[in-house]
Structure 1
Amino acid sequence: MNKVTARQRLILQTLLDHLAAHGAGLTVRELGARVGLSSSSSTSHQLHRLEKGRLLTRSGKEWTTATLTSSAIKLLARAPGA
């Protein structure tokens, strides 16, 4: 994925923090609420874009099985805009 928006970066960071603390992912609605998206459709759209950009992967059909790829973790380690 070439360019990650600030919102997508927030989604990745929120998922990483939640996975580290709880070992399981968030539902689409829970994630949307945490990052300020009121629509589960818009949250799902962002997740699909991150998955297509190979920053997220899922082990099942549900988004609660999503994990960050090594590319996403490297991206988060860099300063925003770097």
Structure 2
Amino acid sequence: MIEKEISIKRLDQVKDIFIFSCFTGLAYADVKKLSKNDVVIGIDGEQWIKTKRTKTDTRSNIPILPTAEAILEKYAEHPDVVNTEKLLPC
């Protein structure tokens, strides 16, 4: 699914958010509320997502794997990301 090319922009975005969810283990509700403040540098020097889960109200520390990082980079210049504190245009 990662390699599938989708010509419809909105569907490609939906695919990317789904894949991001798969690589982070976060539900859509959690991905939707992620902000730039939720990304921190861990003791290993890598980027991590530190957030409170919506459904369970528990803290989560999630490493940002290369595939998820590539998706974040892809949307870094998206107007919804640039004009807000969101990580992804959800």
TM-score when normalising by structure 1: 0.33
**Higher relative contact order, structure no. (Cα contacts within 8 Å, ≥ 6 residues apart):** 1
TM-score when normalising by structure 2: 0.31
Structure showing greater radius of gyration is 2
